[in-house]
Structure 1
Amino acid sequence: MELFQNIKTIRLRSHLEKYLQASVDHVSVSQCRSASIKSSSWTVELVRSGETTYIRLKSCYGKYLTASNSPFLLGIVGRKVIQSKNKRLGTSVDWEPIREGKSNMVKLKTRYGNYLRANGGLPPIRNTVTHDSPFINHTQDWILWEVVPLEFQVQKTSKSGSLAKHSQRVELDLLSMSGTPKPPKVSTMQWRESSETPRGRLIYYRVVDECGEAKTKSSFNFKGNGVDELTRKLEQETGLEDIVVCNRSPSNGELYPLRLQLPPDDTTMDVVVIQASSKLMKKIWKQVKVMMKDENFAKWR
């Protein structure tokens, strides 16, 4: 695949703005927000099989990203993705990159038709990585990964006239990358960490129970401006369905549902996630209805 032709090492960024990470136990894999740690770097090896080119991803511990046959969790679809180092590498370490247009977004497909998937939601699912085939539309993005190049293989002519390969760390504008990158202008260029900083506004959220007590607290970067987009993103993050996104009134501290557009200029937000069917949410709707005329409330809701 053209995207991986001259790349030596990469990071893979999921739809959750997290990076594929090799865990310190040398077996499991997960997602992490830090782009600077060594365990989020993967060495790329190209493997040709017939008309198809596969890639193998080797962790900093010298083990390969592997699609295992072990079930992930009882009652949950998907199988474990692990690190392995077999004397004879099987097809479970081969991943077929399927590029999305000319972007640096790819799906990584096993030889058996499953895809590398980044899971969101509440523990024990949060930050896990599995392989399966998504059948629900809102989980299609879960199998998309952004390729972040770290090192390239650069061919250089030696004094004897032969070509020698060496790797270089390069600075790259990821937003303008549409194919094989141009060779760097200087021999040693440091990769710029700022290219790894998440884009969009920072969203702090809390999932609360019937009493309004926080069960879960977390945060993520969000690129959209609409409440509907934010709601779908929070459903992915929390693993919940049919939720209402609320915030607290600065005047009285009461919870009210968010509507229409989010504040401009990528303003950091603190929101509360509530199940629509909960007693707490029904109580909030009653409070809102008291404050507004019935006909206006019906339109607003």
Structure 2
Amino acid sequence: MKTKFSDYFNNWLYGKDGYYTKYKAIGKDGDFFTAVSTSMFFGGSIAKKIVDTISKKELPSNTTILEIGAHHGYLLADITQFIYTLNPKLLESLNFAIVERFEHLRVEQREYLKESFGDSIKVDFYSDISEVNLDDAFIVANEIYDAFACELIYTKEEKLQTAFVKNDKIEFEDCLDENIINRCKKYKITKGELALGYEEFAKNICTNIKSFHFLTFDYGEKYPRNDFSCRIYSKHEVFPIFEENIELDKLFKNSDITYDVNFSQVIDSFSNICKCEIEYQTQLKALVEFGILDLLEILQKNVSEENYLKEVQKVKTLIDPTGMGDRFKMLLIKK
């Protein structure tokens, strides 16, 4: 029996016993690192951006900070802690919410935030973005677009082909889906990944939240590489999806599968639905503009030199242009 690659990908991450259905450590004890696991100043810089956005009256002081895909809740906790440092009175008016599809993860998040802040903040939980109904929000979504299902695309003798999985092997067949063919033409994809589901996700946000700033970070570009980026992370080893002798059956659901994000698709998913402002730049430039270096100056005045230098090294990992700084991009969409 053969399975469309997009269904296989979705089942890998979200199906019964899928990778994201179980709580996974992130960082040195997990399969990969994220900006959140690298330094609390990632969340701190986002907090400063939120405080500055509210001070400029681009969003009200009682806006909702909404995180989509919060894992354990570390990022929202870092954001909250830094807001307290920068403008503690804001915590009296701000609202907080998380969108998380899995109930057991919502339990983990609720307990962690309760342990961290007690009753000083109230957090609402939703299982899907379609359940949200808000007048305004600052939405944070870190590394979610690389976890949307995708089709693998290949062009052979000028014919577009899509991938299927049969007996744990990937095979290609001529594509008969006009929608996929047209979208590949639009984004000039001849080889690589075509993401699915971005449009519905953007529509739910635009429909259910009247005014928002939507902030996301991920690895990718605004143009297609026209090569396969789909890969698997297992205990910090990287396995390209077409690596020779790869054992998909052993990696399936036990490791993370991902691909580079085509940010043009993300931008279009919003701009085709609503009138919005778009900001796109490297993580390095974004975090510096948000004020991450200013936060380090505050830290230097309040901790030992040893602790300060430890945090500086972590922040360097976030903004190093040869690493996360340029590899990861920031997208900010304002409606």
| TM-score class, shorter | under 0.3
Q: Which has the higher contact order (CA 8 A, sep 6+)?
A: 2
Q: TM-score, normalised by structure 2?
A: 0.22
Which structure: greater strand fraction?
Answer: 1
Which structure: greater helix fraction?
Answer: 2
Q: TM-score, normalised by structure 1?
A: 0.23
